Amino acid sequence: MLIQPIDYFLVVWFALALASTLYVGYDQYRNNPEPVVMKWGFILVTLYMGPLGLLLYVLADKEPRPGEHELFTRPLWKQGVGSTIHCVAGDATGIILAAAVTAALGLPMWIDLIVEYLAGFAFGLFIFQSLFMKSMMGGTYWENVRKSFLPEFISMNFMMAGMAPVMSFLMMGRDMRAMEPTELLFWGVMSIGVIAGFALAYPANVWLVARGLKHGLMTQRAQAAGIDGREQPATRQHAQMQMQQADASGHRGQRHDMASQKGKGGGHHMETDATTPQVAALGAVSLLALAIGMVAPANWLNLTLSARDVGGVIMPRGMIMDRDTPADAMRDMAATDPRLVAASYGLTVRGDQDLPFRMENGIKVFDLRPSVVRWQILPDVAVDAYAYNGQIPGPRIHIRQGDRVRINVTNGLPEETTVHWHGLILPNQMDGPAEITQAPIEPGQSYSYEFTATQHGTYFYHPHTKPDPTQALGLYGALIIDPANPADEVAADHDYVIELQEWLVREGLTYPSMPMDGGMPNFFTINGKAYPSTETIPMKVGETLKVRFIGTNNGFIHPMHIHGGPFEVVARDGETIAASGRFLADTVNVGPGQRYDVIWKAQRPGKWLIHCHIPHHTTNNNVEEKGGGGLMVVIDVT
């Protein structure tokens, strides 16, 4: 599923990479006169580097006209390209295979890097260099291992010095899908890493070729034949294989000839003019570069984490992630995975609808099921949210004081949950805190809460395991308990519940909003909708309205204000205030978890606002629409 702009780019990139690889493979085997190991080297590198691999092939190796390959590939920079190609082809193959295996095994990143280095070096040395190039190097397999070890070691060090930090920073950046081999982004990071490794290894390979320590590009021609079809002695040497290699000044010319058949099986015997101090210095610098590339990222990243720890999550921009950031913090701040959405609901669907119940042996039985949904808060804005019974807010549980109730909760989320009945007096095992009064409800499991409502007033329910992310993503609902004695109710002509929430929506993803770096909200809702998509409350002059403000939000105090005259505060946190203690106000600060019941009287006709008095909270993504946004509701008085 393509869920980020980078995904679309990667689809195009890999389509180009495949097309480029097919062209290079076709042209190599049809037109280009070089040994099989180099053909496959360019094919693999083009697969890993995409159009850049094709560019290198065309500029440095593709024979421009028949018979010109030797002359065309003679310049030192092209020989360096060839040397780097058959280094990267082998090393990168080992690295990529190891990265996929270690991610699947759930190994931490620091072990992943070590295994990748060892696998890349082993594959490059023992297979691609010593085995695949044995026929052209001559000698026994182990002789070739010995001869190839030092140049392969230097080249591999520089390559991994380029790849390691790229993989570390990109895989453990904000989009950690890059750590999952099943994600396209993982292979995109591998491609960028190979490009960086090639760029860093190239200068060293140019020097190694110039000093006769490594092979560059080669030419392999078909053997010439006489009239009788037999190979002619005079052409036998030229018919084998030639390698074009120039010194740093470009004048040394064709330095080695595979036709020099010395020793068993012939072979390409190189001579080097590099001094021991030169080789030692280059080797030491390569080790230093490798150490920096492997170790330095640990100063900024938590390399003890694995793909299994973070689970392919995407963190919000601006979140501070350092070497001490635990995996739990990353998962808690991560975006909801759009691929988990089980249902979508349009703008006309409303939350806070009365939850039906059934009677079982005198008990009112309710069913709640949290799941992942896509919920429309504005005509052009939807959130990937957690919802009870497909509603945000969750369905209203409306009962009477003295009722015996049972709420069956079935977890349809990808993570554990519980339900806490905020402000209620009930048996301790029914209270909901995970690991304290009950075990968490695991995905797919159920738990039944049963108690008798001994209080009356305005309450709400929400999760009490990981409430920071899960309540912020939509898990909350009103719990209204009518008094057993109707005379205890502070009556009004209209009754309206207002449940507050903050949302963070960026680049098509929904993150749990939190009052911290990277988690600040940019949308605000009343009963699951942002103005101008909130409801309008119709009234007549002289009528009264009971507004039940519920702080179902997580992060902010909202000073809720009503235009058109003061209101009377009649209840707080579910407790009715004695008549002598009630007071008039036009603003109440509703903090997370708090509830206020207020009575407002319509004294004049017109459209009167209920809104948060923090102006930013009455915008949508910092923009006003039709006079406002976010936490606004209109009372239409006629």
Does the structure show a pLDDT above 50 at 255?
A: no
Single out the residue in 266, 295, 310 at which a domain terminates. 310
Single out the residue in 431, 457, 486 at which a domain terminates. 486
Q: List phi, psi (to 5°) of 160.
A: -70, -30
Q: Does residue 5 form part of some domain? A: no
Q: Are 592 and 555 in contact (CB under 8 A)?
A: yes
Give the C-alpha separation, 168 to 297, whole Å: 7
Q: Are 426 and 416 in contact (CB under 8 A)?
A: no
Looking at the fold, whether 421 and 541 belong to one and the same domain comes out as no
Confidence (pLDDT) at 257: 38
Q: What average pLDDT does range 45-62 have in this prediction? A: 97
Q: Are 632 and 610 in contact (CB under 8 A)?
A: yes
Q: Are 500 and 590 in contact (CB under 8 A)?
A: yes
Q: List phi, psi (to 5°) of 416.
A: -70, 160
Q: What average pLDDT does range 268-289 have in this prediction? A: 89
Confidence (pLDDT) at 3: 86
Give the C-alpha separation, 173 to 160, whole Å: 19
Confidence (pLDDT) at 76: 96
**Cα Rg for the chain, rounded, in angstroms?**
35
Q: Does residue 148 form part of some domain? A: yes
Q: What is the pLDDT confidence band of residue 130, given thresholds at 50, 70 and 90?
A: low
Confidence (pLDDT) at 9: 96
Confidence (pLDDT) at 253: 41
Does the structure show a pLDDT above 80 at 236?
A: no
Q: What average pLDDT does range 491-498 have in this prediction? A: 97
Does the structure show a pLDDT above 80 at 59?
A: yes
Residue with tokens 């070691």: 153
- Half-sphere exposure (CA, 13 Å, Cβ side) for 81? 22
Looking at the fold, whether 293 and 360 belong to one and the same domain comes out as no
pTM of the model: 0.86
Looking at the fold, whether 482 and 549 belong to one and the same domain comes out as no
- Name the domain count of the chain: 3
Does the structure show a pLDDT above 60 at 94?
A: yes
Give the C-alpha separation, 60 to 74, whole Å: 9
Q: What is the pLDDT confidence band of residue 230, given thresholds at 50, 70 and 90?
A: very low
Q: What average pLDDT does range 473-486 have in this prediction? A: 97
Looking at the fold, whether 127 and 43 belong to one and the same domain comes out as yes
Confidence (pLDDT) at 101: 95
Q: Are 420 and 461 in contact (CB under 8 A)?
A: yes
Helix (H, G, I), strand (E, B) or coil at 67: coil
Give the C-alpha separation, 537 to 527, whole Å: 13
Taking phi first (over 0 means left), then psi (-120 to 50 degrees means alpha), and beta for anything else, what does residue 266 get? left
Give the C-alpha separation, 50 to 371, whole Å: 41
Give the per-residue SS3 of 503-525: EEEECCEEECCCCCCCCCCCEEE
Confidence (pLDDT) at 148: 83
Single out the residue in 439, 456, 486 at which a domain terminates. 486
Is it true that the peptide bond before 338 is cis, omega within 30 degrees of 0?
Answer: no
Does the structure show a pLDDT above 50 at 225?
A: no
- Residues sharing a CB contact under 8 Å with residue 224, sequence separation 6 or more, in sequence order: 231, 232, 235, 238, 239
Looking at the fold, whether 629 and 511 belong to one and the same domain comes out as yes
Looking at the fold, whether 54 and 124 belong to one and the same domain comes out as yes
Which among 499, 511, 608, 599 has a CA at the least distance from the CA of 558? Answer: 499
- In order, the DSSP letters of 230-299 are SBPHHHHTTTSEEE----TTS-S-S-EETT---STT----------HHHHHHHHHHHHHHHHHHHHGGGG
Looking at the fold, whether 468 and 520 belong to one and the same domain comes out as no
Question: pLDDT per residue over 513-555, tens digit each?
Answer: 999 999 999 999 999 999 999 999 999 999 999 999 999 999 9
Q: Does residue 324 form part of some domain? A: no
Q: Does residue 173 form part of some domain? A: yes
Q: What average pLDDT does range 350-364 have in this prediction? A: 97
Q: What average pLDDT does range 188-217 have in this prediction? A: 95
Q: What is the pLDDT confidence band of residue 127, given thresholds at 50, 70 and 90?
A: confident
- CA angle, 514 as apex, 510 and 518 as ends, to 5°? 70
Confidence (pLDDT) at 10: 96
Give the C-alpha separation, 104 to 261, whole Å: 47
Which among 479, 536, 526, 485 has a CA at the least distance from the CA of 503? Answer: 526
Can you say how many angstroms the Cα of residue 313 is from the centroid of all Cα atoms in its chain?
4
Confidence (pLDDT) at 215: 83
Structure tokens given for 630? 């976010």
Q: What is the pLDDT confidence band of residue 97, given thresholds at 50, 70 and 90?
A: very high
C-alpha distances in angstroms, 635 versus 120, 210, 478? 69, 83, 21
DSSP 622: T
- CA angle, 371 as apex, 366 and 373 as ends, to 5°? 125
Q: What average pLDDT does range 95-100 have in this prediction? A: 95
Select, from the ranges 160-169, 215-224, 267-276, the one with the highest average predicted confidence (pLDDT). Answer: 160-169
Confidence (pLDDT) at 269: 56
User: Among 136-150, 220-234, 340-354, 364-378, whose mean pLDDT is lowest?
Assistant: 220-234
- Residues sharing a CB contact under 8 Å with residue 617, sequence separation 6 or more, in sequence order: 524, 556, 558, 630, 631
Does the structure show a pLDDT above 60 at 258?
A: no
Looking at the fold, whether 300 and 350 belong to one and the same domain comes out as no
Does the structure show a pLDDT above 50 at 502?
A: yes
Q: What is the pLDDT confidence band of residue 216, given thresholds at 50, 70 and 90?
A: confident
Give the C-alpha separation, 373 to 522, whole Å: 20
Looking at the fold, whether 273 and 361 belong to one and the same domain comes out as no
Q: What is the pLDDT confidence band of residue 326, given thresholds at 50, 70 and 90?
A: very high
Average pLDDT, the chain: 91
Confidence (pLDDT) at 606: 97
Does the structure show a pLDDT above 50 at 134?
A: yes
Q: List phi, psi (to 5°) of 405.
A: -125, 150
Looking at the fold, whether 33 and 97 belong to one and the same domain comes out as yes
Structure tokens given for 376? 């429309």
Q: Which H or E element spans position 146?
A: helix 141-171
Work out the percent of the chain whose per-residue pLDDT is above 90: 83
Looking at the fold, whether 105 and 203 belong to one and the same domain comes out as yes
Confidence (pLDDT) at 335: 96
Q: Does residue 316 form part of some domain? A: no
Q: Does residue 3 form part of some domain? A: no
Does the structure show a pLDDT above 60 at 561?
A: yes
- Cβ burial of 296 (10 Å; 0-12, 13-18, 19+) is middle
Q: Does residue 169 form part of some domain? A: yes
- Cβ burial of 198 (10 Å; 0-12, 13-18, 19+) is buried
CATH number for the domain including 421? 2.60.40.420
Q: Are 370 and 342 in contact (CB under 8 A)?
A: no
Confidence (pLDDT) at 143: 74
Confidence (pLDDT) at 223: 59
C-alpha distances in angstroms, 504 versus 340, 352, 377, 469? 18, 21, 12, 11
Helix (H, G, I), strand (E, B) or coil at 457: strand
Looking at the fold, whether 518 and 469 belong to one and the same domain comes out as no
Q: Does residue 35 form part of some domain? A: yes
Domain of residue 545 covers: 504-637
Q: What is the pLDDT confidence band of residue 369, given thresholds at 50, 70 and 90?
A: very high
Give the C-alpha separation, 421 to 407, whole Å: 11
Question: pLDDT per residue over 378-435, tens digit each?
Answer: 999 999 999 999 999 999 999 999 999 999 999 999 999 999 999 999 999 999 999 9
Confidence (pLDDT) at 252: 43
Give the C-alpha separation, 262 to 464, whole Å: 79
Q: Are 244 and 113 in contact (CB under 8 A)?
A: no
Confidence (pLDDT) at 140: 76
